[in-house]
Amino acid sequence: MLDRLSASFEGNRVGEVGGRAFYAFPSLPQLLTLDEAALRALGFGYRATYLANSLRELDSKGGVAHLEHLSRMPHVEARKALQCFCGVGPKVADCICLFSLDMDTAVPVDTHCWQLACRDYFPHWPTLVEHFGWKLDARRYLAIGDRLRGIFGTQKVGWAFMVLFAGEVHPFGQGWSGIRG
């Protein structure tokens, strides 16, 4: 989706490797030219509504300056502020904190990370999941991040967990993810 988005703006081409073209990510003013229909045409599906609304809201809050302000906030406060945007929950907010705001303490937890955490870091949870239907809720989401920061430390914990995540979902990771705490 991001490749199609970037390629949709003429003049964003930055190079080619092995016959594949690469494009710079669009600026906020460029993104604001896209409406929900254009985003759907680029393959964003249900995300198109959230993205279009969030782009307008980001622009109204000061655009890039607002993101720079968020990057100077403590992680917990930035995550909370990001969740005010349309369609942004804890996982997406933590993805933004980790991947875009340089907050290495952020631990994005999705279904794969929940399964990995249950198996490797909270060995009693799978029984409770099976018997009582436990699901990933706000309390468990925060507990996973806290546990991983306790194991890996606060510097780069989000990236450490992303390596474990990649081992879970990518074929090269079959049987590879075995770091326990």
Active site residues: 91
Q: State how far the Cα of 129 lies from the Cα of 117, in Å rounded to an integer.
A: 12
3-class secondary-structure state, position 25: coil
How would you label 132-168 residue by residue, b for 16+ Cβ within 10 Å and e otherwise?
eeeebeeebbebbbeebbeebeeeebbebbbebbebb
3-class secondary-structure state, position 79: helix
Tokens of 148: 């991983």
DSSP state of 171: G
